[in-house]
Copies of this chain bind each other. A is one copy, B any other.
Amino acid sequence: MTAGHTELAVSRRCRALPVSPIRRLAPLADEAKRRGRRIIHLNIGQPDLQAPPSVAESIAGAAGRHLAYAPSRGLPEALDAWVTYYRHHGIEVEPGDIVITSGASEALSLAMIATCDPGDEILIPEPFYAPYQGTTAVAGLQLRTVPLGPGFTPPSPEAIRAAITPKTRAILICSPNNPTGTVYSREDLLALGEIVRETGIFLLSDETYREIVFDGPPAPSALSIPGLDDHVVVIDSISKRFNACGMRIGTIVSRNPAVMTAVADLAELRLAVPVIEQLAIAEALSAPEPYISTVVETYRQRVDALVTALSRIEGVTCHRPGGGFYVIAQLPVDDSEQFAAWLLRDFHVDGEAVMVTPMSDFYVTPGRGQDEIRLACVFDPETLTRAAGILEAGLAAYPSRRNA
């Protein structure tokens, strides 16, 4: 076994990781920028809105602080702030039910490792947030999917039951959903609760977009369903609702003490989450209204503007999401990734191009999502409408457009 001039191979698990579509398209976007194109980035859920003003004040105020390790589970101030926040949403939890994480991504990873062993199956409705696939793989889990219903409605209890096997250890939902906007109703959650109780498995619930719901109150939390204390593990984040992706603060919440002990053990291995951000989210989480309602109203207007503009395009089908801030559009093309690449490489309107996310990587079932794209509503309605216009013109000019 001499390495010589051969590059030492990395692990098989890393060689098997899916390459994100954005990674494949990023060089084309960079190249387009070098050619002087302006790009409307509809491809990433990076809000353009500002965090609550109290966040900046808190950061400035903490600047001279001694930068010591926070406790692994989180600063008491941050844990208390989450408790108060959840209480405001009618959910009673204690600081011991919470561990502060580096964003929802770490929360998800810890939740998977705490609840599942390598080889266990995790069931995820499809399509799903693309990085779930890699996170599942790194945790050593087998990913099984159940398709969402027509119009991206939650899968039926029957469909879920049929997809559960003796190896299934957890179901992972995301509500409001990235990318589909699906909001699980209280009835949906009650039905899911019955299933996880009967089968003795965990319900992991990613509630990152909780308040961003367009027709009614915030999405009900899995924590609000009675009798599920042992089963429910909530993944949460301040990134989207409080416009602070770059702070990387999430949380994991469960009333199952064994789960929280396991999560705390895992959290101890990475020691702590940064102090400055934990202090700042204590401020963000108590941001006085109308902060959140303004955020929600902003996304409602944007989603409506984009859906309206897309629906007018011949051959495009588009579903108005119930929440979140993504819109999925079905295009008259056979391969939306090729189209997205073409949009960056070969098309512009007055020097302006659009970058979109092909949906195929949000599915694992082969062939699904091939004609779909995901668009993030992270610009004002005028920009989104202009972007839809560029998309329309692009489709008209696209050599591989599918005939009606």
Contact B134 A118 (CB under 8 A): no
CB distance from A287 to the nearest CB of B (A): 14
Identify which of B8, B67, B102 contacts A246 (C-beta below 8 A): B67
Contact A269 B134 (CB under 8 A): yes
Contact A7 B116 (CB under 8 A): no
| A59 interfacial by beta-carbon distance below 8 Å | yes
With A7-B258, A12-B117, A13-B118 given, is the CB distance from A248 to B230 under 8 Å? Answer: no
Q: Which residues of B contact A117 (CB under 8 A)?
A: 11-13
The CA-CA distance from A69 to B376 in the complex, in Å, is: 15
| A274 interfacial by beta-carbon distance below 8 Å | yes
The CA-CA distance from A1 to B3 in the complex, in Å, is: 50
Number of A residues, CB within 8 Å of B: 85
Q: Which residues of B contact A46 (CB under 8 A)?
A: 68-69
0/1 interface trace, chain A 63-75, chain B, CB 8 Å (1 if under):
1111111100000
Q: Which residues of B contact A231 (CB under 8 A)?
A: 3, 8
| Stretch of A196-204, A212-220, A291-299, A354-362 with 4 or more beta carbons under 8 angstroms from chain B | A196-204
Q: Which residues of B contact A197 (CB under 8 A)?
A: 2-3
| A40 interfacial by beta-carbon distance below 8 Å | no
With A60-B63, A243-B67 given, is the CB distance from A265 to B9 under 8 Å? Answer: no
Identify which of B12, B67, B120 contacts A55 (C-beta below 8 A): B67
CB distance from A59 to the nearest CB of B (A): 4
Q: Which residues of B contact A198 (CB under 8 A)?
A: 2
Contact A134 B265 (CB under 8 A): yes
Q: Which residues of B contact A317 (CB under 8 A)?
A: none
Most buried by B among A202, A265, A266: A265
Q: Which residues of B contact A51 (CB under 8 A)?
A: 67
With A247-B274, A272-B246 given, is the CB distance from A258 to B67 under 8 Å? Answer: no
Identify which of B12, B64, B202, B273 contacts A8 (C-beta below 8 A): B202
The CA-CA distance from A136 to B330 in the complex, in Å, is: 44
Q: Which residues of B contact A156 (CB under 8 A)?
A: none
The CA-CA distance from A9 to B266 in the complex, in Å, is: 16
| A268 interfacial by beta-carbon distance below 8 Å | yes
Identify which of B11, B63, B106 contacts A56 (C-beta below 8 A): B63
Q: Which residues of B contact A274 (CB under 8 A)?
A: 246-248, 274, 276-277
Contact A245 B68 (CB under 8 A): yes
| A151 interfacial by beta-carbon distance below 8 Å | no
- Chain B residue at minimal CB-CB distance from A8: B230
| A244 interfacial by beta-carbon distance below 8 Å | yes
A residues 323-354 near B (Cβ < 8 Å) are none
Identify which of B8, B243, B271 contacts A258 (C-beta below 8 A): B8
| A257 interfacial by beta-carbon distance below 8 Å | yes
The CA-CA distance from A316 to B115 in the complex, in Å, is: 45
| Stretch of A15-23, A78-86, A363-371, A385-393 with 4 or more beta carbons under 8 angstroms from chain B | A15-23
Known interface pairs A1-B199, A11-B113, A60-B60; 6 further A-B residue pairs with C-beta atoms within 8 A, sorted by A's residue number: A10-B261, A15-B262, A118-B118, A134-B266, A138-B269, A245-B272
Report 18 cross-chain contacts, Cβ distance below 8 Å, ordered by A residue. A1-B199, A2-B200, A7-B230, A7-B257, A7-B258, A17-B266, A44-B69, A55-B67, A56-B63, A66-B246, A67-B244, A67-B245, A102-B102, A103-B270, A103-B271, A109-B270, A246-B274, A276-B277
Ranked nearest first, the 5 interchain pairs of A and B with the lowest CB-CB distance are A14-B262, A67-B246, A60-B63, A1-B200, A246-B275
- The interface of chain A, by Cβ under 8 A from chain B, is 1-3, 6-15, 17, 19-20, 23, 44, 46, 48, 50-51, 55-57, 59-60, 62-70, 102-103, 105-106, 109, 113-118, 120, 131, 134-135, 138, 140, 197-202, 230-231, 243-248, 256-259, 261-262, 265-266, 268-277
